[in-house]
Amino acid sequence: MKHLYLFIGFLLLVSCNFFNVKKTTSDAILNEELKTFNWSNVDEYPSFASCNDAISKEEKKRCFQNTLTAIITNKIQRDTIVVSQNIDDTIYIKFQISEQGVLSFLEAKVDSVTRHEIPNIDEILTSSLDSLPEIYPAIKRGQQVKTAFTLPVIIRVN
């Protein structure tokens, strides 16, 4: 009987670890959630009012990119650009859209020949953004978020 009491006492001492509860803070939960967050994908892409009729996420993205490309292309076509040689280049323009829907021009990857022939290409691209309609920012989990993206624009000058 003495051994039984000793055995039960030993089990009670050893089993006390099962009752320990780990305390987690809200910061720890937030950090764990942020690790699983896919930052490269949003629930809704940035859009213009004219793109709100698009049904799917991809259609809205395509509409936004096509509208932005058309606005930039129209501005470039309206400017008089004089070159000494033909240009057939794709410019990759990096943009950022803030949580408030403000589009910022970050940089343009331009071929050296194009930059030599059109030295003010950055100013032309920046001024083309002045006449943009209102932009609705991207949405991730119900919150407006900052997004960055690259847009290719083809330039052909003869």
Model pLDDT for residues 49-86, shown as the tens digit of each residue: 888 776 788 888 888 888 888 888 888 778 777 777 87
Model pLDDT for residues 110-153, shown as the tens digit of each residue: 888 888 888 888 888 888 887 788 888 988 888 888 988 888 88
pLDDT at 41 over 80: no
Confidence of residue 100 (pLDDT cuts 50, 70, 90): very high
CA distances from 32 to 24, 37, 40, 145 (A): 11, 9, 17, 20
Please name every residue paired with 157 in a beta bridge, in sequence order, or none if there are none: 87
CA distances from 43 to 4, 9, 58, 82 (A): 62, 57, 11, 43
Q: How far apart are CA 103 and CA 101, in angstroms?
A: 6
Model pLDDT for residues 108-120, shown as the tens digit of each residue: 898 888 888 888 8
CA distances from 117 to 72, 92, 112 (A): 19, 17, 9
Q: Which of 71, 74, 69, 117 is nearest to 93 (CA)?
A: 69
The identity of residue 70, as a single letter, is: A
Looking at residue 15, its pLDDT comes to: 66
Residue bearing the bigger pLDDT, 27 or 50:
50
Helix (H) / strand (E) element for 148: namely strand 147-157
